[in-house]
Structure 1
Amino acid sequence: MTIRLDRLSGAGAVPRLDAGRRLSALMAAALGSSMIALAVITAKTGIRFHSEFLGIAGLAVMTAVLSLYCDFRGLGWRIADLARLMTFFIASLLLCGLVSNGGLGLRMPVADPLLASMDAYLPLDSRSMVYFTASQDMAVRVLKWAYDSSAILCLAAAAWMVASGERLRFWRYVATAIVTMQATAIA
């Protein structure tokens, strides 16, 4: 699924790929890397996935078909791009969750000790900060709201960019989210 944006001028005889194709390739590489990681995890651990995941994958396929239909019918880039966003977002979340949770079956070291050692370099007592924050009911509620609403806020920001016609900025935003989620899951 390639995003076609206006061509960017390139130096030299070989024309550069347009920004949309580069962003599509970047997202495809990130999702492909997660698919490979999931295949390795599945082969090494023998884990099985519940059939509920097929419904989620089916939803991603349906939104992909919708975006292609919008392109075919010439319904405008905004509707097609929002359908593509949903396709990439659903696929990315599904892969991120499966790779992250499935990867625990490999019993490889998690990043927690590394992160704790990095905390040691900060002039703060992170353990005390965690306990203090957890003891503050209002802080816990605000942080919970921020965590729970982050996906909706990300989608709202993306929809705003589409509505305001900022297509390149929109796809850079989406690509950043997709690549970040997959890199975090694989790492």
Structure 2
Amino acid sequence: MTDDELHARLRAADPLPDLPPLAPERLDQLLEDTVTGTEAPTTRRPRTLLLAAAAAAAVVVVGGGALALTGRDGGTTTLALAPPDVSASCAALTPELLAGSDVAFAGRVTAVSGDTVVLETTQRFTGEVGDTVEVTQGDGSVVDGAALTFEPGQVYLLTADDGTIGSCSGSGPDSPELRALFDQAFGG
């Protein structure tokens, strides 16, 4: 097998082929961290994550709803981005994966101020989402496990669970491919 054939096979298997390549400086840093052990990779089991999510949800419910998402009648919904995790590897994005989200919506970035991004909700797929959504912006890395970086004026399709937009949640800039998955997942 030639290098070109191998490259073509890898691209065909990529679950998120539309993401731009990693910046060379970031790639160098990730490689250095891996070699020196600066960032120790973690092993996560799906059952452990599910139990942890259930426990966190129970704490929120028992604790009187410390995290409140504002309803559809207006107001502001506040969400956080999951911290970047360079050891994460995202599963292939499917409508079933998206459909399991607590919240799913489309939003246009209206303001970026420091680390805070303000989006105007343009479409609600599921869950309670205010007319305005505030999100803390990521670090600009685009790899599996990295947070999104929001651009002013751009429309994003976003999902969140327990008030957090996961790094492998299927959230990203609105595109025909991602829009088709959202439509399949939420009956659009």
TM-score band, normalised by the shorter chain?
Answer: under 0.3
- Based on CA coordinates, which of the two structures has the bigger radius of gyration? 1
- TM-score of the two chains, using structure 1 as the length reference: 0.26
> Bigger relative contact order, structure 1 or 2, given CA contacts below 8 A and separation 6+?
1
- TM-score of the two chains, using structure 2 as the length reference: 0.26
